[in-house]
Structure 1
Amino acid sequence: MTTLETFAALREGDATPSPYRLSVHDLGEVHVPSGRLEAVDPYVFLGGGAVIRVPAGSHPVRVTVADVSPAQDGSHLREAYLSVVLAEGEVERVAPPHSAERLDGPGYVGVPVDAGVVAFVDADATAAAAPDDTWYDEHFDSGRDDSWFARQDDPEHVRPGCANVPLPGVEGANVVMAHAGWGDGFYPVRATYAADGTMLGVHIDLHVAVAAGADPAADDGAAA
């Protein structure tokens, strides 16, 4: 089970619960005026992801990256967590988000991934945008420099493998995304809390920053 001692989102360096060296990178902000944050694979399930209620507004998004190379020389990097920072403070507890609108199992909130990417977006905005089958050619892989694929591949954008892109058809809405660690799967959503119960962040745990031999599928109901 994930605990404060084993959770490594937004931690840096070697002295972490992870067996790998970690680094944290800013991806800009996600705009959530509705206060309904969607965690989703944006290429396959946009508009149908897990929804967590958060304070309405714009919140920083950060990706925690693990160096999984044997020599720890930066030659093999994988995204370990995608996080929305809601407030600053000392983390006292890690748990499934208490404000999730649905559970995928007993006490479990998760994100199915079928295109190797995870993202955060305003849930009301995705409902208004009404993504459909035309989006692949029009927005995801249009061949233009501003397509979502191109943005993720552009080292001059926010970071290779990541993107912060407008959500078509909804003024001011955006999608902040990152590669999903090892790829497709079903990944848990965690929340971090201060001692007074304030939710400090929402995190998609991509099961990269785990101890050797650990079984993340047995974590917090993930096998459900």
Structure 2
Amino acid sequence: MDVSNLLALRPGRIEGWQYSRKVYWLGQLQVPSGRLRACDPFANLDDGLVFPIPPGRYPVYVTVADVSDAQNGSQLRESYLSLVLADGQPARLGTLIPENAAPPAGPPSDNDDFYGVPVYAGTVGFTDADAVARCMPEGDWYEQFFDNGEDDSWFALMDSPQHHIENCANIVLPNATAGENVVLCHSGWGDGFYPVIASYDGAGKLLAVHIDLLVEEAEGAPAGGPGSATPGAAATSSQPSSPGTSRASAPESAGVDDATDTQKRPGFWRRLFGFDD
């Protein structure tokens, strides 16, 4: 499979694609349990899909695309959030299978199933699932931590250009004892449903986990076509269930189903691997 269509962690302008991009380091993520949660931190921090990875401490990067017509930096959108587990040259891409879930039936050329992150608050993030259970206290997280009016609120840190880069944050969880944290960024064009994909080297070693924010556009692609923020909008999907207690009181997450079902979005794998629809 051709991995050249994965633009995460690849700065500059690449032939065949509309946008130039920059890559920014967002610090390290602690994943001591080996249970990586990919989620919208303001909507389902305690209930996003969990992916098994080797326990460790890993760097996180955001790839930011310049989507302005003039390519002058006047309109920037996050296009990938990436957790890097190992150095190496990607040789293969694939869907990452969450806990207690079955892989999609058949190879990517035969189906368009993938697992992903439903976004309701314009944000995606990575964290350790066990750390959230241990380090987030009961109560109204929105009022206590997300938007409490203080300079260290999660919203304020995301808005601050002095904290890594604007629209991104690396935040230690409230009751952390060993630096347990969440790394988050705005989700490109906003709310939607975004694939979690993995890159592997030639020996099958997992190199990185990416949330593809579906911003990148091939040259000549029409507005709203493959790579836009609303791909396959007419398709049906099954998304993770709403969190129970100890979650933000706003925004509301409605119309969600069982987290163990696959998330179907026509055209994603075909866009990524270059198959014709």
Q: Could you state the TM-score of these two structures normalised by the residue count of structure 1?
A: 0.92
Name which of structure 1's ranges 65-74 and 204-213 shifts more when overlaid on structure 2: 204-213
One-letter code of the match for 1:101? Answer: E
Q: State the 1:149 CA deviation.
A: 0.4
Residue number in structure 1 paired with 2:99: 101
**In the alignment, structure 1 residue 31 sits paired with structure 2 residue 74:** no
Equivalent residues in 2 for 1:149-160, closer than 5 Å: 149-160=155-166
Name which of structure 1's ranges 69-78 and 210-219 shifts more when overlaid on structure 2: 210-219
Name which of structure 1's ranges 77-86 and 166-175 shifts more when overlaid on structure 2: 166-175
Equivalent residues in 2 for 1:63-142, closer than 5 Å: 63-98=62-97, 100-103=98-101, 106=104, 107-130=113-136, 134-142=140-148
Q: State the 1:52 CA deviation.
A: 1.1
Q: State the 1:16 CA deviation.
A: 5.2
Counterpart selection for 1:195 from 192, 202, 208: 202
8 Å CA contact 1:31, 1:122 repeated in 2: yes
Give identity over the alignment, percent: 48
8 Å CA contact 1:40, 1:49 repeated in 2: yes
Could you list the per-position Cα deviations for residues 94-114 of structure 1 after superposition, in whole angstroms to 9, with x for gaps in the alignment?
11114x215598351100000
Equivalent residues in 2 for 1:9-48, closer than 5 Å: 9-15=8-14, 18-48=17-47
Q: State the 1:133 CA deviation.
A: 5.3
Counterpart selection for 2:181 from 165, 174, 178: 174
8 Å CA contact 1:32, 1:57 repeated in 2: yes
Could you list the per-position Cα deviations for residues 148-174 of structure 1 after superposition, in whole angstroms to 9, with x for gaps in the alignment?
000001111110000001111232210
Q: State the 1:5 CA deviation.
A: 2.6
Could you list the per-position Cα deviations for residues 139-198 of structure 1 after superposition, in whole angstroms to 9, with x for gaps in the alignment?
001111110000001111110000001111232210100000000011000000000000
Residue number in structure 2 paired with 1:164: 170
- CA gap of 1:102–1:79, structure 2 versus 1, over 3 A, is farther
**In the alignment, structure 1 residue 215 sits paired with structure 2 residue 226:** yes
Paired positions, count: 222
- CA gap of 1:102–1:160, structure 2 versus 1, over 3 A, is farther
Name which of structure 1's ranges 12-21 and 104-113 shifts more when overlaid on structure 2: 104-113
Instruction: Report the structure number with the largest CA radius of gyration.
Output: 2
8 Å CA contact 1:8, 1:16 repeated in 2: no
Residue number in structure 2 paired with 1:6: 5
SS in 1 for 2:194: strand
Q: Show structure 1 runs of 5+ residues with no match.
A: none
CA RMSD of aligned residues (A): 2.2
The 2-side partners of 1:101 and 1:81 are apart by: 22
Q: Show structure 2 runs of 5+ residues with no match.
A: 105-112, 236-262, 268-277
- CA gap of 1:131–1:49, structure 2 versus 1, over 3 A, is farther
The 1-side partners of 2:122 and 2:139 are apart by: 18
SS in 1 for 2:41: coil
SS in 1 for 2:265: coil
The 1-side partners of 2:180 and 2:11 are apart by: 30
